[in-house]
Amino acid sequence: MTTASPKFDDRRAKRNVAVLFFAQAILGAQLPVNMILGGLAGALLADNRALATLPISIMVLTSMLTALPASHFMGRFGRKAGFLLGTAAGAVGGALGARALAIGSFELLLLGAAFTGIYQSTQGFFRFAAADTASPAFKPKAISWVLAGGLLSALIGPEIVRTMSDYFSPIPYAGAYATVIFVNLIGAVVVLLLDIPTPPRRAKGAGSGRPMLDILRQPRTVVAILCAMISYAMMTLVMTSTPLAMVGHGFTSNHAADVVRWHVLAMFAPSFFTGSVIARFGHVPVIAIGLVMLGVCSAIARSGVEIHSFYLALIALGLGWNFGFIGGTSLLATTHTLEEQAKIQGLNDFLVLGLVTVASFGSGALLTLYGWEMVQLAMAPALMVAGGALFWLTLAERRATDPNAAI
């Protein structure tokens, strides 16, 4: 089947990148709030401390389960409709979180986390939306610039925790969750400025590009998805348990919020140039740097539990996520057509968030049962798999260009 090449207008793409940048900055602020307070609020309300990080895990699990439906919803009704649905879910999540703390209900906190997970699954498509109207040359930059909006969310989110957590004192953390409602209302106004055409309805019986198995037979597709999965999951594994580990070693929730702030800064600040680095050096070297930085995080975290160790480890973790995840995302964008994007992007985020869910569930249990060092050691097998996949892709592409190349 042949498909006419879409016409790209990078002027429109740059406008959409600007809108998505600010949407990422404003709406993305609720994720640091939930990452910082999810475990702390869970520890406050749960009967079993091992369940403290369950709100974060529920949020990620819901993101995984709604990723495919969200992708297909956007494929039919457009990106704007999908993102507005996400902001509504995020506002409900914030309201339920605040109410849960007011009445001391762990179950209601989990329900609020589920609604936040619906929001998170839609935010995951900001980076793909950035590429929708971009030319092939501009796609890596568009993706990385949108994710750079997380730099502002890294400042806004922890500040919400710091200034608003005690607003409804003596009810801890409720003020921060309530503020999330207004974050989503403001973000919805920004989303309304998005200018991405709604995909045309396919004629009855018309195909949607190649079968999924054909797309997955491409080494690039497999490696892109695998490296994105591992980069995001390893970041989540360490990040989820960091506030609890810090409090357990005598630091305050404000210390944890500041470490998370620097972590999220490291996640998103490089995005201003990650796309240019990918365009200059290629996807594989950038992803490889990301995997190395994740390994550096593990080494630093195992070296001690002083405050500077938490700062340095979480900064390295953020850098590793940035290069690994953006590299994997932009590599995936080279593997499919416009007609195929809803199904392959949905599958990608389903698999990414699936492994992230496992990591978030395992993080609290590993920390509680075996300690902070075991959380770090658990990264090693996954990083070795991702590194092996990159090596395999390099060999496969070398053979494709030169069948006589030595293995």
CATH number at residue 148: 1.20.1250.20
Q: State residue 302's pLDDT score.
A: 92
What is the per-residue burial (b if ≥16 Cβ within 10 Å, else e) of 266-288? Answer: bbbbbbeebbebbbeeebbbbbb
Q: Is residue 186 part of a domain?
A: yes
Q: Identify the band that residue 241 occupies on the pLDDT scale cut at 50, 70 and 90.
A: confident
**What is the pLDDT at residue 404?**
63
DSSP 8-state symbol, 338: G
- 3 lies in some domain: no
State how many domains the chain has: 1
Could you tell me if residue 4 is inside a domain?
A: no
pLDDT of residue 2: 34
Going by C-alpha positions, the residue among 92, 267, 62, 118 that lies closest to residue 184 is 92
Place of tokens 């209900």: 105
Residues above pLDDT 90, as percent of the chain: 46
Above 70 in pLDDT, residue 375? yes
Residue 30 placed within a domain: yes
Give CA–CA dist 404/394, Å, rounded: 14
What is the arithmetic mean of pLDDT over 319-323?
95
DSSP for residue 6 = P
Rounded CA-CA distance 71/89 in Å is 16
pLDDT higher for 256 or 288? Answer: 288
In a domain, 406, yes or no: no
Per-residue pLDDT band for 4 (boundaries 50, 70, 90) equals: very low
pLDDT class of 383 with cuts at 50, 70, 90: very high
Indicate whether 407 pLDDT > 50: no
- Across residues 43-67, what is the average pLDDT? 84
The answer to whether the beta carbons of residues 383 and 294 sit under 8 Å apart is yes
Domain presence at residue 308: yes
pLDDT of residue 203 exceeding 70: no
pLDDT band at 3 (very low <50, low <70, confident <90, very high): very low
Q: Give how far Cα 398 sits from Cα of 219, 320, 407, Å.
A: 12, 26, 9
Instruction: Tell whether 1 is covered by a domain.
Output: no
If phi over 0 gives left and psi between -120 and 50 gives alpha, with beta otherwise, what is residue 204?
A: beta
The band of 212, judged by pLDDT with boundaries at 50, 70 and 90, is confident
pLDDT band, residue 9 (cuts 50/70/90): low
pLDDT band at 205 (very low <50, low <70, confident <90, very high): low
Residue type, 44: L
Range of the domain at 155: 10-198+209-401
User: What whole-number distance in Å separates Cα of residue 182 and Cα of residue 38?
Assistant: 19
Q: What's the DSSP call for residue 270?
A: T
Within-domain flag for 374: yes
Q: Is the pLDDT reported for residue 186 higher than 60?
A: yes
Kindly state the tokens that stand for 327.
């590299």
Q: Within the chain, how many helices (H) and strands (E) appear?
A: 18, 0
The pLDDT assigned to 401 comes to: 74
Lowest average pLDDT, out of 23-32, 178-187, 346-355, goes to: 346-355
Nearest to 189 by CA among 23, 376, 362: 23
Q: CA torsion 67→72→78→84, rounded to 10°?
A: -40
**Mean residue pLDDT across the chain:** 87
